[in-house]
Amino acid sequence: MTARVLVVDDVPSNAKLLESRLLAEYFEVVCAHSGAEALRVCADGKVDIVLLDVVMPEMDGFEVCRRLKQDPATQHIPVVMVTTLDETADRVKGLEAGADDFLSKPVGDLQLLTRVKSLTRLKMLTDELRLRTAIAHNAGFDNGLEDERRAAPAILLIDDDSASSACIGRMLKADFSLDVEDDPQAGLFRAAEGGYECVLVTTGYSDYDPLRLCAQLRALDRTRLLPVMLVADIGDGTVLQRALEFGVNDYVTRPVDPQELVARLRTQLRRKRYNDRLRSSVSQSFQMAVTDPLTGLHNRRYLDTHLPRLIARSVARQRPLSLMIADIDRFKSINDAWGHQGGDDVLREFADRLRQNIRGIDLICRFGGEEFVVAMPDTDRAAAEMVAERLRVAIANEPFTVDGGKNAIPVTTSVGVVSRMGTLDDAAQLLKRADLALYEAKNAGRNCVVAPAA
Give alpha helix (H) positions in 319-360.
331-357
User: 247-285: b or e for each residue (b if 16 or more CB lie within 10 Å)?
Assistant: bbbbbbbbebbbbbbbbbbbbbbebbbbbbbbeebbeeb
pTM for the full model? 0.53
Helix (H) or strand (E) holding 313: helix 300-317
Each residue's pLDDT tens digit, 349-392 = 999 999 999 988 899 999 989 999 999 999 999 999 999 999 99
Q: Which of 67, 14, 13 is nearest to 41 (CA)?
A: 67
Strand extents, DSSP E, 159-257: 177-181, 198-202, 228-232, 250-253
Active-site positions read: 370
Helix (H) or strand (E) holding 104: strand 101-104
Amino acid letter, residue 262: V
First to last CA, the chain: 26
Each residue's pLDDT tens digit, 254-292 = 999 888 888 889 888 888 887 787 777 656 655 667 889
DSSP class of residue 147?
P
Q: Which of 426, 384, 289, 412 is nearest to 374 (CA)?
A: 384
Each residue's pLDDT tens digit, 56-93 = 998 999 999 999 999 988 988 999 988 876 667 777 88
Instruction: Determine the average pLDDT of the residues in 4-19.
Output: 94
Each residue's pLDDT tens digit, 210-220 = 899 999 998 89
Give the range among 50-64, 104-118, 123-137, 435-449 with minimum mean pLDDT.
Answer: 123-137
Domains of the chain (ranges, CATH numbers): 4-138 (3.40.50.2300), 154-284 (3.40.50.2300), 291-450 (3.30.70.270)
Q: Pairing state of beta strands 363-368 and 154-158?
A: unpaired
What pLDDT, on a 0 to 100 scale, did the predictor assign at position 400? 96
What pLDDT, on a 0 to 100 scale, did the predictor assign at position 148? 47
Q: Which of 3, 265, 238 is nearest to 124 (CA)?
A: 3
Task: Please provide the average confidence, as pLDDT, over all residues in the chain.
Answer: 88
Q: Which of 99, 105, 112 is nearest to 86 (CA)?
A: 105
Looking at the chain, the whole-number percentage of residues with pLDDT higher than 90 is 58
- Determine the length of the chain: 454
The C-alpha atoms of residue 361 and residue 297 are separated, in whole angstroms, by 14
Sheet-wide strand order for 154-158: 177-181, 154-158, 198-202, 228-232, 250-253
Instruction: Determine the average pLDDT of the residues in 230-241.
Output: 86
**Position 149 pLDDT exceeds 70:** no
What pLDDT, on a 0 to 100 scale, did the predictor assign at position 282? 59
